[in-house]
Amino acid sequence: MTKTGKVLLWVAGIVLVLLAVLVIFVLTFDWNRIKPTINQKVSAELQRPFAIRGELGVDWSRKTDDRGWRAWIPWPQIHAEDLVLGNPPDIPGDNMMTLKRVEANLSPLALLGKQVRIPRIWLTEPDANLQRLANGKNNWTFNLANRDKAKGEASSDWSVNISDIVFDRGQISLKDSVLKADLRAKIDPLGKPLPFSEVIGDKGEVKDSKVRSTSVDYIFGWQVEGKYQGQPVSGSGKIGGMLSLTNADIPFPIQADVRSGSTRVAIVGTLNDPSNLADINLRLKFSGDSLGNLYPLIGVLLPNTPPYATDGYLIARLRQSGGAVYQYQKFNGKIGDSDIHGDLTYTASQPRPKLLGKVVSNQLRFADLAPLIGADSNQQKKGRGEKSRQPSDKILPVEAFETQSWNVMDADVTYAAKRIERDKALPISDLSTHVVMKNGELLLDPLRFGIAGGNLNATLRLNGNKNPMQGRIDLHARRFQLKQLLPEVESMRNSLGQLNGDASFTARGNSVAALLGTSNGSLRILLNQGLISRSLMELLGLNVGNYIVAKLFGDDEVKINCAAADIVMRNGLATPRLFVFDTENAIINITGNANFATERLDLSIDPQSKGLRILTLRSPLYVKGTFKNPDAGVKTGPLIARGAVAAVLGVALTPAAALLALISPSEGEENQCTPLLKSMKQK
């Protein structure tokens, strides 16, 4: 053997000996000796306590699932028991997470390329305690030790690649002072991965492209209970694997069915970059007894409603400079017996969040509007809390508006009901409005109803910052067709008459009753070519009217040439400056007042026959009592002075002139009110 050969042989022998010594050292080394060093290094890097309190060891085994020569190379499998990760110094409590055991495979060949490749990590019984304080500080955000360039430290050439993270069973508790949450969740593996498509279905239920194209699987099932925003919560669902939770490039699938009282929320979809809560793409269904009950749960102020259910798509961008943006798109649903469709956008902006959107109902059941105006006070809706009960002797709704929450959100939403389902006697056909809420002030402009072939256009302003609330409403009724206004009156079906009117009121109060009881303003109404009869009063349920008409006209049906009213309201007391009916047989004048604050009536009806005395009644009538239980009768005392009603025609110029303005110039002399009002104006 040559000298060179001997040298090479010695070198090879030394290398083999060193490798053997290294293998023996690795196999026999007590890895527990380096636990203090590992604990110290990790604690310094994470800036919070970390400790491996149990055994630390390394086992070597071949990976039988590899092919070729790689299957013959032993892989180190690291295990550690009883691991504890503490909280940062400014978070109360001892531990953020405990683990009974951790196992991880390590690829030895990847180390040659300065890559720590871990095909799989097994976690045994992880228990996490997440906390967030009222100041926003939390224990799940890690501030790694500062390795900036100012210290002259070069970035590491090493990289870490984790292929999979699995665990057998875990528990998570969350105490969040910001969300007022105290939740406890249990997480268990599903046994085998469940494809995302099997959960959402293959029939096109999820239409959003980002949701539909997701190919990740559900790995774990979960159950949760506790409180959220102070409300009891329970639910269950499925989530993806731990790897997709930490990898921003892999969508994290989530499915949930959560209940809080009567409210139920069901979601299915994905979170993008879930560790930073960047984007959300979900199909969202929710239902309950009232939309108003959602405010404590989602922070969006919605009106009290009948039971509801909706189904739509929630797209959220949580890392926007102006605040997180949530879009509830293409939703469909029902509120009571009414359908609802549209798009809403909620922006968590400052100083108040804002709700924008467009909502449409193809068919609105009129009764479903009752809770919006407090008209269902006597119906104690389950889950909506105790409301003001309607007094038995009152008609006007007393249920208070919840104005204390109006300043928590701004809104700009349009709503249209293309068709209104109502009682046949209620001639409302459609509705549209533009709702604007800003800094506690509510504006509906316009608020438009299609009524009896005409339009009721209104502007409503309510200032919820005042206590009691201050309001103003302006109403304009145009071209209400009498044959449609009273569709159940057969004799009206051939009527060509119309009703027009204007009203403007200011008021203060926290309910419909309080607002009407403090109203100031005026009301002007003009009706031409109508009729009046006992059967009409009976049909309308006006017993007092039935009595009055019977006293004036008997059982006959009498045509109304014109009915004109100019009523002034002062602190809830409605007093007519002019209230006159011009019929074919008589002129009837109404005086007195109606008190909306006390709901009491004090009216006088003074008739005068035209030409031959057709009316047998020669004394005035009265209407007294309450709105709920009115009383009518014949006044005792002197007869009507001749010409008393004629004096009515000598009223001040202003009421007659104002009422003439309600007659459209295009109608010409066909309107029977024109000659009456002109004669008043001349006198």
pLDDT for 232 beyond 70: yes
Give 425-465 pLDDT, tens digit per residue: 677 888 899 999 998 899 999 899 998 888 999 999 999 88
Read off the DSSP letter of residue 559.
E
> What is the mean predicted confidence (pLDDT) over 554-573?
85
Contact 610, 585 (CB under 8 A): yes
Confidence bin at 541 (pLDDT 50/70/90):
low
CB distance 646 to 680 below 8 Å:
no
**SS3 state of residue 63:** coil
- pLDDT, tens digit, 9 for 90 and up, residues 179-206: 788 999 998 888 776 676 666 654 444 4
Give, for 526, the enclosing helix (H) or strand (E): strand 520-532
By three-state DSSP, how is residue 677 classified?
helix
Q: What is the mean pLDDT of residues 275-293?
A: 81
Cα–Cα distance for residue pair 90/388, rounded to 1 Å? 46
Give residue for tokens 């006597």.
378
Measured distance CA(293)–CA(287) in Å, rounded: 10
Cα 594-600-604 angle, rounded to 5 deg: 55
- What pLDDT band is residue 517 in, cutting at 50, 70 and 90? very high
Side-chain half-sphere CA neighbours of 124 within 13 A: 10
pLDDT at 378: 42
In tens, the pLDDT along 386-426 reads 456 778 888 888 888 877 778 888 999 999 999 888 666 67
The pLDDT score that the predictor gives to residue 645 is 42
The predicted model gives 370-382 an average pLDDT of 48
Task: Please say whether the beta carbons of 544 and 630 come within 8 A.
Answer: yes
Asked if 534 and 516 count as a contact pair (C-beta separation under 8 A), the reply is no
Backbone angles phi, psi at 611, to 5 degrees: 65, -125
- DSSP notation for 255-314: EEEEEETTEEEEEEEEEESGGGT-EEEEEEEEEES-GGGGHHHH-------SSEEEEEEE
Mean pLDDT of 284-304: 81
pLDDT band at 150 (very low <50, low <70, confident <90, very high): very low
Overall pTM surpassing 0.75 (yes/no): no
DSSP string computed for 136-194: S-BSSS--PPP--GGGTPPPPS-EEEE--EEES-EEEEEEETTTTEEEEEEEEEEEEEE
The burial of 93, by beta-carbon neighbours within 10 Å (0-12 exposed, 13-18 middle, 19 or more buried), is given as exposed
Contact in structure between 109 and 133 (CB atoms under 8 Å): no
- Across 270-279, 349-358, 410-419, 499-508, least confident range: 270-279
- Read off the pLDDT of residues 52-78 as tens digits, 9 standing for 90 and up: 999 988 887 766 555 655 566 667 788
Scored b (16 or more CB within 10 A) or e, 367-379 reads bbbbbeebbbbee
Eight-class DSSP state of 401: P
Residue 580 CA to residue 645 CA, distance in Å, equals: 9
**Are 649 and 504 spatial neighbours (Cβ–Cβ below 8 Å)?**
no
207-211, 519-523, 610-614 — most confident range: 519-523
Give exposure, 522-544, as e/b (b: 16+ Cβ within 10 Å): bbbbbbbbbbbbbbbbeeeeeeb
pLDDT category at 646 given cuts 50, 70, 90 is very low
Instruction: Identify the DSSP state of 75.
Output: E
